[in-house]
A and B are shown apart, each in its own frame.
Chain A
Amino acid sequence: MEALQAFFAQYGALLAQGTWDTIVMTFVSTVFAYVIGIPLGVLVVVTAPDGLKPHRAFNRVLGWIVNIGRSIPFIILLVALIPFTRFVVGTSLGVPGAIVPLVVSASPFVARMVEQSLREVDGDLIEAAQSFGASTWQIVYKVYLPEALPSLIRGAAITFITIFGYSAMAGTVGGGGLGDIAIRYGYQRYQNNVMIATIVILVVLVQLIQTAGDVSARKLDKRNR
């Protein structure tokens, strides 16, 4: 018990700061990734061969861009983007320095998640909307997005947790957060207790986010009686 008190007296503030940094990094990155990823995912679905406005060339190019984004391992993207990150936020270090590569990496991921959610919407509903004279844009924001909402929320929980994992890697190039602490204390200084503490915090946070996503998706889904 005393050992635990001593541990928190020594590392409590550090871990609290790391946890906060990780949450901020992940949350801000998720928001920006969705700001970019939703329009991309919508465009992929709408311009697909069986979509509302088929456009083969545009759809292909979009697909390539998304795939390229998805195929570069995050740890490499992180380093490759350093000049770009400096250009955008003025530094490649700390929380702001981590957010840029996280957003670049997560946006194509989000685009695919959104695409998948929209494809789950029953094609009959799209046809019904067309039969009432809905425009493409009206179908997107009055049918596709609202009908896919529960699925989009589940996707957002998965995205959040994925970015959460990536954010730990950002720690390796000075990104801050729990990943940074785990590397500096756990790996470089062999302080296993700090390492274990970060793992416990990460596991608890992931569980909380997953549960929040599941519960809100279920509550919002009007298909449940």
Chain B
Amino acid sequence: MPATLETEDAIKDLSGDYKYGFVTDIETDLAPKGLNEDIIRLISTKKEEPEWLLEWRLEAYRKWLKADDPDWAKVHHPEIDFQDIHYYAAPKKKEGPKSLDEVDPELLETYEKLGIPIKEQEVLAGVQGAPNIAVDAVFDSVSVATTYKEKLEEIGVIFCSFSEAVQDHPELVKKYLGSVVPVSDNAYATLNSAVFTDGTFVYIPKGVQCPMELSTYFRINTKDTGQFERTLIVADEGSKVSYLEGCTAPMRDENQLHAAVVELVALDDAEIKYSTVQNWYPGDKDGVGGIYNFVTKRGACRGKNSKISWTQVETGSAITWKYPSCILQGDNSVGEFYSVAVTNNMQQADTGTKMIHIGKNTSSRIISKGISAGKAQNTYRGLVRVQPGAEGARNYTQCDSLLMGDKCGAHTLPYIEVKNPSAQVEHEATTSKISEDQMFYCVQRGLDPEEAVSMIVNGFCKEVMQELPMEFAVEAQKLLGISLEGSVG
């Protein structure tokens, strides 16, 4: 391609097939479509839940019936028929798989296709000195294998599926469930509270630094199942944990709803790092199919000197609607949000964060990079609020947008609300495109335009990418390239 060619002229439709679009054929235990109190009772019974949890679900369901779906985001989709969804699907249970050998080989194969096999040694092969990763694999709604569990148990770390936690640690679940994201937070979170089937529970006891990165793999598999998982991470005083979450989904023509809730609680001096790479099926280039990713993620820095850090690389989903947030309650607590959101073709992303400064000397940092190509719409929506008591609060926000092509959009909606004069709040944002000079330089050095774009985009996102744990960084960099494939000819 002549190097002088305008970047926008070079934009071409993404024609490559979704690399991870395959369906694993496993017998599933499926609830009938639709949502009513009986379905919720069924879920609760299937999961052998205590009475209080069923009541909690039913209360959420009743609230959901009255709740309106959020309509303020800059996303468009046909109305979701919540009665046309299976609310429970579980792979047919074999007797409690204790080791990987007992796991359905087809399932293992699925994970291998994903590029990150469940066998952690393989994950780490060739990476010298890399920390161990424990994987709690969620297949549709039920956790099928948990590795390294015993090793973690030795030091008191609880890392298990949500269902197990309900059975084994009900006091912890009862104490923290819904304490960060209240049942009536928003309609999707309310729905999740009513029908969540599984997810992950992590508890790090006092003073324990979790020796390995905890990792979960979520997949949506059964046709027409909305996945409603629930994650709860509690870091007790002085503890530290890093949690990775990665997602891919099989190719589908019908839109699938995914409404997860993630709650993080950090007590005094605790630190939680939560990293996400989201690569669910974005739909084809005409916008047919793809996942609706409507997720509520929120962390509470309850204790003093606590820290919660969100890092996300969002490349997938037809629609992304998520705002990982931090409630900075404890004095000197720190909230961070690092985000890369890539949208191509007909994808829509409305994502950002909320930093609520309540405690004294709390600080937050927001770095958001939005990349929009094709006919995609990419919105950053964020709130920084400093409450009257947040003496000495500090925020720095930077959100940059990169536009590739003249049919896409990039929007920035920051809200800044300051009620304390000692706060220092700064916000900067820019919108630009890949300049001809940058392309010319790269191409003139012998890179093909696609490599050049990938390199420039990775450079644009560098501040975020370097926050990812190493195990994720490599995959995420590749993902950026794959997601923008074909956006330059």
Do A and B come together as binding partners? no
Interface residues in chain A, defined as those with a beta carbon under 8 Å from any beta carbon in chain B: none
Q: Which residues of B contact A (CB under 8 A)?
A: none
